[in-house]
Amino acid sequence: MLNTVWVDRLDAAVTEEVLSLLRAAMAVDGRPEIADAAEVLPGEFAGGAHLLATESGELVGYAHLDTTGDAHGRQVAELIVRPERRREGHGAAMVAALVERAGASALTSPGTTEATGTLRVWAHGDHPGAAALAARTGFVRDRELLVMHVPVPGADWPEPVPPAGVTLRTFVPGQDERAVIAVNARAFSWHPEQGALTVEDLVAEQAEAWFDADGFFLAENAAGEVVGFHWTKVHPPNPKRFGGERTGEVYVVGVDPGAQGGGLGRALTLAGLRHLRERGLPQVILYVEGDNAPAVAVYERLGFARHEVDVQYGR
């Protein structure tokens, strides 16, 4: 019989059990991306509440619920069932536990008692099993996050040409964090995750092994104000994704609304793409909202094509 329990903090022994489950899932699905030597959970599983699903003492499923909610007040969950224990009803039982917990901790509008948050659950790779589970449990497809891909060899990426009076330089740790976060907040006020980025988050990211200030490009206007940025990232080989090769990423491109419309976004994107090409990477990916047709069109003109899709199901 499946036993489910919520905990707010994982001790070292349980963390290792969860990491083992996540590695097993990555070996089959390619997600979540986690290093073999990792001793802590990936950042997307930090904080919040943890659901442990066990049967006869074996951890067969794990879910994480971000109880603080995204930038729009929606609680967001990740749910993983051990690959060899799927199609046994565990996913449905875990979804029921998620729905109950999310309802019990529903977010409220400031100064009111009205619950405004809804629950969303990620399905990375748009797996048909996730779609079937969503249909059985009353969830609907709420959001699509496209993964676009371009092979680097043969890509025609010209020298970036920023608008008049704008210059490009690279990020300086300890100096540029507040300026970047200010632009990010204005550029992504609509975005459920990116819009909530803080200075503390940015500082924490700099401690990650993949962080490279030389691949973090800033745009400054004539007054020396940061008006845009392009943050690149490099992923280690993942046997289940992108041919098992190292992969560059257009991680975040943000342009201050007051500086949009003059080609700055394209210039920043080109600067990052050329940097990734110079690093000898065979391919580059990016994530973009599926309903952002103008952005998709821009990336298609740069050679990107749709490769995967991550879905959030909501209720």
Q: Which residues are annotated as a binding site?
A: 36, 79-81, 193, 233, 249, 253-255, 260-266, 287
Q: How many CA atoms lie within 13 A of 262 on its CB side?
A: 17
Q: How far apart (Å, rounded) are the C-alpha atoms in residues 106 and 67?
A: 8
Q: Which amino acid is at 242?
A: F
Binding site residue list for acetyl-CoA: 79-81, 253-255, 260-266
Write the DSSP string, 201-221.
HHHHHTTSTT--GGGEEEEE-
Q: How far apart (Å, rounded) are the C-alpha atoms in residues 249 and 230?
A: 10
Q: How far apart (Å, rounded) are the C-alpha atoms in residues 172 and 121?
A: 36
Nearest CA to 143 out of 162, 126, 158, 164 is that of: 126
Q: How far apart (Å, rounded) are the C-alpha atoms in residues 224 and 166?
A: 9
Cα first-last separation, the chain: 27
Phi, psi of 115 (to 5 degrees): -75, 125
| Structure-token pair, residue 220 | 């400054």
Nearest CA to 212 out of 230, 239, 237 is that of: 230
**Which strand (E) or helix (H) includes residue 287?**
strand 283-289
Nearest CA to 124 out of 107, 106, 144 is that of: 144
If you ran DSSP here, which 8-state letter would residue 304 be given? -
Q: How far apart (Å, rounded) are the C-alpha atoms in residues 230 and 226?
A: 12
Q: Is the CB of residue 134 less than 8 Å from the CB of residue 140?
A: yes
